[in-house]
Each structure stands twice: as structure tokens, then as C-alpha cells.
Copies of this chain bind each other. A is one copy, B any other.
Amino acid sequence: MRPRSITLTGNELEIMKIVWRLERATVRDVYEELLKERKIAYTTVMTMMKVLEQKGHLKRSAEDKAHVYQPSESRLKVVGSMVTEFLNRVFDGSAAPLLAHLVDQKHITREELAQIAKVRSEPTGKK
């Protein structure tokens, strides 16, 4: 049988991004945001948010008339695990080849790379 995807699928991530940005949102809030990008039915959003709740990515609280959803985990944490999963799946865990791709495909310049290395390796001197 088909295993449920460990990480977020494309559309699930799209919704999570909105909820992370709004911090707390109703189905309607997310629906309105998504409408800016593409045609979608209100109930479709509801279904997807219910799935996200079942998967543990969203917490629901029946506050007012409409339920309010909030992220269960920080964007940093979730996206971090997505990065790790991608790295393992595509590059067997080695980041260097990924870096090479980023540079070769000009997603990042050598200067930016050097700058990040600099900032991170010399954070004012201590710790």
C-alpha cells in the first residue's frame, strides 16, 4: 500500500505557509489567501486543513463561530525536517553536492556563499 508522505505535500505546505504567516487562521482566512493565487473551493480548503490537523500539523480550537487553526510546530522545525529529508533522499545526506548545484544553477552567488560563511564563522568573535 502507499505510505503516507512523511513530509508535507505541495498543497499542504502552501496552506501551512499561510497559517505560519497569519499565526492563527480560520478556514476562510486561508481560503481568501489561496484565492489570490488560484481558483479553489472553500470546502477543499476545509478538507485539506482537516487532514493537516489529523497529521498533527495544525491545532484546532472552536473559539467563536468558526474554528481557529494554529500551527502545531514552528516553520523552522518543519522546514528543517523537510530539508533533511530532501538531503537524504536526493543526495544521500551530503550537503556539498547540493551546494554545488545551487552555485552551478546560480540560485546563489559565490559572494552570497562567502558572506554566509563569514557571518556564521565569525559572529563578532565569541561563542
Contact = CB atoms under 8 A, between A and B. Distances in A.
Given A79-B90, A82-B90, A110 B103 contact: no
A111 interface: yes
B79 A96 contact: no
A117 B114 contact: yes
A70 interface: no
A126 interface: no
A104 interface: yes
Contacts of A111: 121
Prevailing SS type, chain A contact patch: helix
A40 interface: no
Number of copies of this chain that the complex holds: 2
A87 B113 contact: no
Interface in A77-114: 79-80, 82-84, 86-87, 89-91, 93, 95-96, 98-105, 107-108, 110-114
B86 A103 contact: no
A65 interface: no
Contact of A95 (B80, B90, B107, B120): B107
Contacts of A104: 80
A83 B101 contact: yes
A82 B97 CA distance: 13
